[in-house]
Amino acid sequence: MPPLTLMVKPASGACNLRCSYCFYVDEMKHRETASHGFMSPGTSEQTIRRALVYAEGSLSFMFQGGEPSLMDAGFYRDWLRLVARYNNRRLPVSYALQTNGFALSDDLIAVLKEGGFLAGVSLDGTRDLHDNRRRTAQGAPTHDQVLFNIRRLKAAGVPYNILCVVDDAVAAQPEAVYHALRPHGYLQFIPCMTALAEGAAPALHPDSYGRFLVRLFDCYEKDLRAGRYVSINLFDNFIRMEKGLPPAACNMQGHCSPNYVVEAGGQVYPCDFYCLDPWLLGNVHTDSFYAIAASPLMQRFLAEGREHPEACRACTAYSLCRTGCKRDHQHGTNRLCAAFRHFHQERGEALTALAAVPITALPRQ
């Protein structure tokens, strides 16, 4: 078996924010149960034991939501303790936590430091852009509080990345967004998947995204050539592919891999974007990861991810896009394919040239 990366949703869909584009709310329409509650100690223990039996080489736990910081520090401290108890083969184990960064207690930050967690913090560019999309349940803005908590993470020595969701509003201000996020060093831009209202047009149009990528790349290239490397996940992976290396991002590999998600009740799904009733693979209380991996439903999921239309294979941007995430497919093709074609046409040669420039990674914040 290969190394295992396990996404864990300990608070299921529960969250202390009400982001206007939250895809998790949209996914609830496809579930018999709107939320699976909060993970019990028994489910935590079963997840850890099953994962340590199955993994080979290494094991990664990535806590997501909803909002995983709704679980107190004791939950994560117990997780670390159980891993130490059951890790008889002494596998290397790593941890990450994806958070909106709004409510991080001192105790939780201490546990993140203790466990060597990497924190992924959501921050949507400038204050105005962020607060227009990411508000509390009471409608209050969150930008300044998130920045304050990022400073606390840095002071405690917890490494972090920034996650920025790109909708049309963000896409219209690439330079402002880049310069607002640039000081953090490690950036991931996530195309918005949802419409902002029932029946409305998508929140991100391919043309907008294509122009955004071109202008964002210009910022990235300028800094890189000046010796001021700022990591942008998408462009870093493009450069890896230009060098003949495999991309690190799963949606750029050209096929689906098992990215198992364990929900709060122990339910296991094949991917974060497919935590839906039709894709329920099993439960850690009753099923091993060996059985889940061999299940017909898991094999069907992987087979569907290998289907590439001929129109995609003939596309000039295929080497970059590789059809993208299966979740983004509409009528057999990537819904953002026009954006990647535009980027390849406008900056393909510049990307190839940039791949020859040595990159020195930034120290972690």
* CA dihedral angle for residue 191, residue 197, residue 198, residue 202, rounded to 10 degrees: -30
Interaxial angle between packed helices 233-242 and 206-225, expressed in degrees from 0 to 180 and rounded to the nearest 10: 70
Whether residue 66 is preceded by a cis peptide bond, meaning omega within 30 degrees of 0, is: yes
> H helices of the chain, where?
23-27, 41-54, 73-86, 106-115, 127-133, 143-156, 168-171, 174-181, 206-225, 233-242, 289-294, 296-305, 310-313, 318-321, 337-354
The conformation of residue 39, written as its DSSP 8-state character, comes to: -
The answer to whether residue 272 is catalytic is: yes
Question: How many Cβ atoms are within 10 Å of 176's Cβ, its own excluded?
Answer: 14
Helix (H) or strand (E) segment spanning residue 165: strand 160-166
- Which token pair is 197? 């209202």
Tell me 149's DSSP state. Answer: H
How many residues are given for the chain? 365
Instruction: Give the active site residue among 124, 167, 236, 272.
Output: 272
In a 10 Å sphere around its CB, with 0-12 CB exposed, 13-18 middle and 19+ buried, how is residue 313 labelled? Answer: exposed
Amino acid at 324: G
Separation between Cα atoms, residue 3 and residue 48, nearest integer Å:
14
- Measure the CA angle with vertex 73, ends 31 and 137; round to 5°: 50
Catalytic positions are: 272
